[in-house]
Structure 1
Amino acid sequence: MMHTVARLSEADVLVKPSPVAMVWNEPDRPLEALAVPGIHLSAGEALVEIELATVCGSDVHTVLGHRSASTPLVLGHEQVGRVVALGPDAVRSDGSSLELGDRVVWSVTVSCGECDRCVRGLTQKCRSLAKYGHERVHRGWELSGGFATHVQLRAGTATVRIDEGVPAAVAAPASCATATAVAALDAASDRVDLAGAVVLVTGGGMIGLSAAAIAVEAGAIVVVSEPDAGRRAFARRFGAHAVDPRARVGAPDRLDAVLAALTGGGAAGAAPVGMPRDAPREVLVAVEASGTSAGVRTAVSTVGTGGVVVLVGSVAGGTELCVDPESIVRRMLTVTGVHNYAATHLERAVAFLERSWRILPLDELVGPTHALAMLDLALAEAASGEHIRVGVAPGRRAAT
């Protein structure tokens, strides 16, 4: 569907046909279409027409009622689109001016840039934080999520231009999964050089596989622990080793067997016979992306002395673990949490995708793509767990 944009004033924009957002109210209730005929763009804001959005796991958790949300709500925060209207002084994350026609991705969060947390670099935890796909619909910001024909970008959004050649299925997840994976590995690399290190990734969803691909590019030896055979196959195509956490004792695809082969058992002392003296001896980084208690236990118990455990998948309550603090102390572990990301992580995520999409099967991580009017079906397919991501294309016609 072709949309035309007319300026009514410096700040007011009229789009025909009217932009439409899909509104979620509660579990087991169909989403409803909301038309937004006029948009007021304040300083620093922009209107973006959505090319493709993808369904993140957090969208599924919300729809299933597994996490609280203010309703009515326009879900969606992984998307790519094109700038079709600009408010005064709208800028990209690098400070340059946004331009009409820019193909962009943008941050999940809207930050003030001035509070104590923003000044400390924790813009994703801004004191006045707003989040795309997480805010109750209200007048003046109805187009606040990616499951819509358009999104209104507010001032304080990290907006990054992405190359025209990058497929939409590769670009859309940058706004959440890819940038979060970059942030997770950035937290690890503060303590451990990824080049040559053994990195364990627990969970082969979008974040886990993205982290695996980025770590492999950085020179790490990556092991992905994932029960789904199809996702393990993707990990191998990204250059990682893959193990099945359910494998029986003695199986070749069991974690301990693979790590023993990579590290010579990980014991201290001289290098094992047949292994170079500079071979990695133990896992030094674990990125926990599954959000399961078993994944967290595996990550914490596997990392060796001086290593780093980055928890990124534990975004739902109800998971409590018993940990042995003596083991953490004696191994001198760093255990840290990463939630969302900063602008620099999104910029680096886009750079990674721009140089990697031709050589890695990143576009295949997105399965079926549906029209916006079929969002209920898209969410149901995403909830099935059969696909790593499901796409939503507002420009696609619904099947009749």
Structure 2
Amino acid sequence: MDTQTRRLTTSAQVWNGGQVFEAQKLEMPELAAGEAVVAIDLATICGSDIHTVTGRRAGPSPSILGHEAVGRIVAVGPGGVRDFLGKELLPGDRVIWSVTVSCGSCDRCTAGRTAKCRSLLKTGHEPLGGPWGLSGGYASHIHLPHGITVVSVPDRVSDAAAAPAACATATVMAVLEAGGDVRGQRVLVSGAGMLGIVACAVAAHRDAASVEARDLNPERLELAREFGATSTRLATEPATSSSHDVAVELSGSQPAVLAALESLAIGGRLVLAGSVAPGPNVALDPERVVRSLLSLTGVHNYEPRHLQLAMDFLADTQRTHDWDSLVATPRPMTEIGSLMQQPQGRILRSSLAHHRS
């Protein structure tokens, strides 16, 4: 079977800076070994893309944004492509793919930090005229280069659950790994957006003694309880100090970072993952860190194993948690400009689908 692209094209929403998106038809490259083309079934809009479009974070333009998506293999390069578990992928197979593409051979990759590869490429973050121009999910098809992690999606996991796994769910797996074994531990989840809701569910699934969620939004706190939080607290309310063994800070708010640090008990561990945009410095009391044996670490993106762990978790919990309820009904790709704003209430992700005739 010839699985080359045969001049396949993608219909993409190209971001030209600001709020401007332009529909373009672009030709796929000839596939090299280890590469694939995927037809995108659903793409969700991560908050980081909203930050890019609104100017809070820098991004190259023109480019194709979008790094949370799910789709089906339509073509593979010479020698074929395998998923993370080693299964050979064939046209029609349903997959998700990682945010990062690494070389696998530099000092950072060999040290297990592929997310900081010295020649890193990022899904939905590359310039249209660069070496990986067709990198984004806001299109009918995406080109997957050699070095990207591909994970198969079980039939029982919906598109709405699978798409955010490529960023939010996999990142939570990395965050909680950095926080250590939470079994029997008192866990604080600071920020009840998509990452926070997933973190509540994962901590509860891993038998944390308690899971407290903090946020400014009462609706999000109610949602956190439905997904595993045993208690909730408005971020504006005073918190009990020295009450948590593990704190994960996912909002990026300076007051929230301070509150999470202050909440740690003796031997407590704080993982920062929400602070991905410039903000004010946070005052640190080094004496308390020393005397209380505290640990502080940061997590940015994730490693290949975390993407597989995310999919396994979704498959295990698809009957106990309504993941679909967190994602809005998909809108046509042509409406992308109007969806570049934070969704309200209990919806945590807007979504897009490409119309196929």
Question: TM bucket by the smaller chain?
Answer: over 0.9
**Distance in 2 separating the partners of 1:83 and 1:69:** 28
Structure-2 residue corresponding to 1:41: 31
**Distance in 1 separating the partners of 2:135 and 2:90:** 20
* CA pair 40-86 structure 1, distance change in 2 beyond 3 A: same
Q: CA deviation at 1:246?
A: 2.1
Is the Cα–Cα contact under 8 Å of residues 70 and 135 in structure 1 kept in the other structure? Answer: yes
Instruction: Indicate whether 1:353 and 2:343 are aligned.
Output: no
Find the partner of 1:31 among 15, 21, 25.
21
Is the Cα–Cα contact under 8 Å of residues 198 and 283 in structure 1 kept in the other structure? Answer: yes
Find the partner of 1:239 among 228, 235, 253.
228
Q: What code does the residue aligned with 2:168 have?
A: A
Structure 2 unmatched runs, 5+: none
* 1:224-303 superposed matches below 5 A: 224-240=213-229, 241-247=231-237, 255-256=239-240, 282-303=243-264
Q: CA deviation at 1:223?
A: 0.5
Superposition TM-score, scaled by structure 1 size: 0.84
* CA pair 385-359 structure 1, distance change in 2 beyond 3 A: closer
Q: What code does the residue aligned with 2:348 have?
A: I
Structure-2 residue corresponding to 1:178: 169
Q: CA deviation at 1:387?
A: 3.7
Structure-2 residue corresponding to 1:307: 268
Structure-1 residue corresponding to 2:142: 151
Q: What code does the residue aligned with 2:274 have?
A: G
Question: What's the CA shift string for 1:18-48, capped at 9, x where partnerless?
Answer: 42111112113x2001212343111110000
Find the partner of 1:317 among 278, 291, 310.
278
Q: CA deviation at 1:88?
A: 1.8
Find the partner of 2:199 among 211, 225, 248.
211
Q: Secondary structure at the match of 1:113?
A: coil
Q: CA deviation at 1:96?
A: 3.2
**Distance in 2 separating the partners of 1:321 and 1:396:** 49
Q: What code does the residue aligned with 1:209 have?
A: I
Structure-2 residue corresponding to 1:263: none
Which runs of at least 4 in structure 1 moved beyond 4 Å after TM superposition? 383-386
**Distance in 1 separating the partners of 2:356 and 2:298:** 38
Q: Percent identity?
A: 43
* CA pair 301-156 structure 1, distance change in 2 beyond 3 A: same
**Distance in 2 separating the partners of 1:392 and 1:319:** 34
**Distance in 1 separating the partners of 2:290 and 2:62:** 46
Question: What's the CA shift string for 1:108-129, capped at 9, x where partnerless?
Answer: 0001111110001001111110
Superposition TM-score, scaled by structure 2 size: 0.94
Q: What code does the residue aligned with 1:58 have?
A: S
Structure-2 residue corresponding to 1:169: 160
Q: Secondary structure at the match of 1:148?
A: coil
Find the partner of 1:194 among 182, 190, 197.
182
**Distance in 1 separating the partners of 2:120 and 2:131:** 17
Instruction: Indicate whether 1:388 and 2:348 are aligned.
Output: yes
Q: CA deviation at 1:365?
A: 1.0
Structure-2 residue corresponding to 1:83: 73
The CA RMSD measured in Å over matched residues stands at 1.9
**Distance in 1 separating the partners of 2:314 and 2:344:** 27
Structure 1 unmatched runs, 5+: 1-5, 248-253, 260-265, 267-281
Q: CA deviation at 1:11?
A: 4.6
Structure-2 residue corresponding to 1:136: 127
Q: CA deviation at 1:102?
A: 1.3
Is the Cα–Cα contact under 8 Å of residues 11 and 42 in structure 1 kept in the other structure? Answer: no
Bigger radius of gyration among the two: 1
Structure-2 residue corresponding to 1:276: none
Find the partner of 1:13 among 2, 6, 26.
6
